[in-house]
Structure 1
């Protein structure tokens, strides 16, 4: 291991990465400077964020500050609760950009803290006075009504005029007179210095925000993830947390939450069952023994060939075919618990345990087995998953195929930064207006950042004073802010078109196994043909909402 080098982390996902757009959109939230309440616009039907109010409005965080801090704490903290996999995106990339955003803000806050100490704490009475004015101004500006803004501005101008009058007509003399003058003036000079620091930082953060959404190479610089001495344990712990995050993303264990569907894969929009009795083709001979796993294995081999076809017309991209263990949880469950024990290693249920669940755990409580074929399309904005299960109860074999769809990331995360502007009337043509550019960081924002800066070394106190962001649980980056795909015609078409070929491949592979084991497949074939006709024109339904 080498020390003293800076680790830039991975760059944006390479060209062709299935989760490029969705991953970059989510990562861009770490650099945003919009109000924290904007996150509520991205909430969907099943997952709601919580904006926890603070005690003092002056310390209130913006969206980027709250998002990056909440994501890092939730996904990297020691002893954290399990996460939901982010299919269609790379959560480690998002977390690294949250760490990078926190690092950039920490560097800015260190400079602001130095300015605050030199120009504020040494002249504390003046600093407190100006902070009270800005706190009162913030409260007035947040009131509803057209007159709130002008009143807040008039308040600041009035206090400024009184300050000038105080400097001219000082009621006392000597050392304290000069100190009083400095207490009024020096915090204002500190504000000008702080404004320059904030402007530079805002340009850097916005450039990264825009770069992620434009597809340019934006590195996530996280120097604290590289140990600079053999005794430095914080960097090693961070490295291990990131490695654990990547390992959990590859877990083959998922969770079914009732109407919410399978967390991370989306709601179940369609289901097709083929169930017939197992009858020997020759009444004089018994069926050759087989298990559900034998059928699943044959289906698995055929699903891997979905990208091939008789015509060179594009068709399916290469799918991901995996074995999944599905654990049921309550619809309103606030946390999940991953399988543990000797049958699990590095968040992966071992193959022998998968086979045992597939063959034996088909009725009653416990985990269930599914074979999944998954496509990540539209640069990660659409995740299609078809799940297959094979069960045998008494003499009936049932083959079930269900469709799940996870839609695009909410449009809030795709919004690029816009320069602040203001409409004003023209001097000589008052009936016309023109747009003028405003500074990236306004007067109130400079004061807010300077006031927060000395407290950023202890986030719990800052969260208590200014508020924080509560993430929807059970938390996973991708499904927490995913929309339904059905309002996007082409995405909906892709989901519906995938059902028919998958269903036919599953049925043909299963029937072939049955024939090899001496099962009369006439009824299976007739039922398969009936389902094949019914799936010609599938329509999305809320298959997890039983009309009982």
Structure 2
């Protein structure tokens, strides 16, 4: 980053995985990616739990080894998305999950470089002067334990103990009666860790500046993707690079799957809850002019609606109107409200993670009642720079002589405000030369207790499972998808709520107009359909959000 004061860290000089997200829809992506560079407490992420799902942190054996928010988030996301035999992922609409994963990988590499240097410091001053280091680490662990107590007076005891230990170290250094090499070593037992801490603090401060710079750049709209050279094999023998490349390809295929999951009152995972529903259901009768109804199928109606929805962005007036929507045929599978995972369909009817076109048509025409997946035609608008996703789902069913056309609205709100918070420089207020003057004195980005934590963790980062056992790890909510599990409610945002409600009437009218045209062409009496359509058109004028998936028993 030009002109930065932090470390010059090129995330790779060799290869870059390009972002595939749409231009101008990066706010949610960058907000989630910035979590990989944060240095606050994991508790902040736990407090950001939504109605969709709950994150959790599994405590370790020693609080001194606990990860911070960025460390826990980056490790949890990379493990969840790249581990062998992982559970399926939920699509993240309105953002690009691969970009978030790339930043998590890049942040891990950045911290690994820092930890390599800290390991050298720990090795020099820790192994050679191990008894003294253990005394200092025990004191810091005791201080962290006491500081976590609900009684603040008990927490203050930890600071007193550290002060006493520091004074004892100075006293022994000056007054130890032993001479010779043994005396020098005994004096160094308590002094050498302080020198190691000073060296480690310089390293930590340098890399903390770099992490804050990447955090700030993402929230400011920095559009460059993180470079991850380990995803591009440089020779046929690099099995880990090939595995990572295949993992990224699998993630991209899942993101573009046409299979979604309906979780009862939680709505469609990844698309949000159902806030409104409009139904047109009338009998199929031939026209009074005579003749029989020409044979047609549900797919004929759906195809006509699909073609007409592509014209939504056109308007007779010179206004902004709708942006180009994403129109897609979806296969919706039902799962339980509290299901811990989903199962994607397989077999010859599936190509990658998407159901083939001929099977989509079969489900649309034949799988309308009883067990099995269902077909929906979706029109999706991604607004507010990716922070708002509006999806209107259309289904067409024919049972006996009744044709039913259903239009439902789903909405996914912005990411939690935690993800858009910017870094701040630690400071404290001090008095000036005159008693009425005060000023803000900047403090180090990495306080003393954080330096000790990072230095203690550094040697164990080479074997993450042991570090997870010692310090704990973040448990992500399931079924996991980056976007919906931390989505906030958009109804608190006036303009977002207006956009959701305004999208319903035009879509509903286009659907009805296309369906009526197909019925007319196939000699169906459309009188009752047209009357019902006009009634629904009046109802949708005052569309209001409600819990359409909650039924009163």
- Using the TM superposition, name which of 178-187 and 82-91 deviates more: 178-187
Map of 1:407-446 to 2, 5 A cutoff? 407-424=413-430, 429=435, 434-446=439-451
Aligned equivalent of 1:226: 232
Q: 1:116 is matched with which residue: 122, 127, 145?
A: 122
Q: 1:219 to 1:369 in 2, by over 3 A?
A: closer
- Using the TM superposition, name which of 496-505 and 152-161 deviates more: 152-161
Give me the whole-angstrom Cα distance separating, in 2, the residues matched to 1:31 and 1:10. 20
2:550 is aligned with 1:542: no
Q: Tell me how far 1:236 sits from its aligned partner.
A: 1.0
Aligned equivalent of 1:213: 219
Q: 1:213 to 1:148 in 2, by over 3 A?
A: farther
Q: 1:218 to 1:159 in 2, by over 3 A?
A: farther
Q: Tell me how far 1:247 sits from its aligned partner.
A: 1.0
Aligned equivalent of 2:255: 249
**Secondary structure of the corresponding residue to residue 85 of structure 1:** coil
Q: 1:529 to 1:396 in 2, by over 3 A?
A: same
Q: Tell me how far 1:420 sits from its aligned partner.
A: 0.8
Cα RMSD for the two superposed structures: 1.6
Map of 1:5-16 to 2, 5 A cutoff? 6-10=14-18
Q: Tell me how far 1:226 sits from its aligned partner.
A: 2.4
Aligned equivalent of 1:460: 465
Q: Tell me how far 1:211 sits from its aligned partner.
A: 0.2
**Secondary structure of the corresponding residue to residue 95 of structure 1:** helix
Aligned equivalent of 1:522: 527
Give me the whole-angstrom Cα distance separating, in 1, the residues matched to 2:236 and 2:477. 38
Q: Tell me how far 1:225 sits from its aligned partner.
A: 1.7
Q: Tell me how far 1:131 sits from its aligned partner.
A: 0.6
Map of 1:95-174 to 2, 5 A cutoff? 95-147=101-153, 150-174=156-180
Q: 1:487 is matched with which residue: 488, 492, 496?
A: 492
2:306 is aligned with 1:326: no
2:195 is aligned with 1:177: no
**Which whole-Å deviations, capped at 9, do the CAs of 1:108-134 have from their partners, x for residues lacking one?**
000100111011112111111111111
Q: 1:386 to 1:217 in 2, by over 3 A?
A: closer
**Which whole-Å deviations, capped at 9, do the CAs of 1:29-71 have from their partners, x for residues lacking one?**
0000010100023211121100111110100100000000000
- Using the TM superposition, name which of 279-288 and 530-539 deviates more: 279-288
Identify unmatched segments of 5+ residues in structure 2: 1-11
Q: Tell me how far 1:151 sits from its aligned partner.
A: 3.3
| TM-score, length of structure 2 as denominator length | 0.95
The answer (yes or no) to whether the contact 1:266–1:479 under 8 Å persists in 2 is yes
Q: Tell me how far 1:547 sits from its aligned partner.
A: 1.7
Give me the whole-angstrom Cα distance separating, in 1, the residues matched to 2:490 and 2:451. 41
**Which whole-Å deviations, capped at 9, do the CAs of 1:299-331 have from their partners, x for residues lacking one?**
000001100111111100001110000000000
2:476 is aligned with 1:471: yes
**Which whole-Å deviations, capped at 9, do the CAs of 1:190-215 have from their partners, x for residues lacking one?**
11111111011100000000000001
Aligned equivalent of 2:517: 512
Give me the whole-angstrom Cα distance separating, in 2, the residues matched to 1:124 and 1:226. 41
Identify unmatched segments of 5+ residues in structure 1: none
2:267 is aligned with 1:261: yes
Q: 1:403 is matched with which residue: 382, 402, 409?
A: 409
Give me the whole-angstrom Cα distance separating, in 1, the residues matched to 2:144 and 2:262. 45
Q: Tell me how far 1:156 sits from its aligned partner.
A: 1.4
**Secondary structure of the corresponding residue to residue 318 of structure 2:** coil
Q: Tell me how far 1:186 sits from its aligned partner.
A: 1.6
Give me the whole-angstrom Cα distance separating, in 1, the residues matched to 2:15 and 2:331. 36
Give me the whole-angstrom Cα distance separating, in 2, the residues matched to 1:190 and 1:114. 10
**Which whole-Å deviations, capped at 9, do the CAs of 1:494-537 have from their partners, x for residues lacking one?**
11011001000000100110111111000000000000001001
Give me the whole-angstrom Cα distance separating, in 2, the residues matched to 1:473 and 1:19. 25
Q: Tell me how far 1:79 sits from its aligned partner.
A: 1.1
**Secondary structure of the corresponding residue to residue 446 of structure 2:** coil
**Secondary structure of the corresponding residue to residue 535 of structure 1:** helix
Map of 1:346-385 to 2, 5 A cutoff? 346-385=352-391
Give me the whole-angstrom Cα distance separating, in 1, the residues matched to 2:279 and 2:473. 47
2:55 is aligned with 1:76: no
Q: Tell me how far 1:10 sits from its aligned partner.
A: 3.2
Map of 1:282-297 to 2, 5 A cutoff? 282=288, 284-297=290-303
**Secondary structure of the corresponding residue to residue 360 of structure 2:** helix
Q: Tell me how far 1:187 sits from its aligned partner.
A: 1.5
**Secondary structure of the corresponding residue to residue 120 of structure 1:** helix
**Secondary structure of the corresponding residue to residue 375 of structure 1:** strand
The answer (yes or no) to whether the contact 2:173–2:191 under 8 Å persists in 1 is no
Aligned equivalent of 1:199: 205
The answer (yes or no) to whether the contact 2:329–2:375 under 8 Å persists in 1 is yes
- Size of the aligned set, in residue pairs, is 542
**Secondary structure of the corresponding residue to residue 329 of structure 2:** strand
Q: 1:195 to 1:218 in 2, by over 3 A?
A: farther
Give me the whole-angstrom Cα distance separating, in 1, the residues matched to 2:388 and 2:529. 33
| TM-score, length of structure 1 as denominator length | 0.96
The answer (yes or no) to whether the contact 1:280–1:519 under 8 Å persists in 2 is yes
- Using the TM superposition, name which of 404-413 and 208-217 deviates more: 208-217
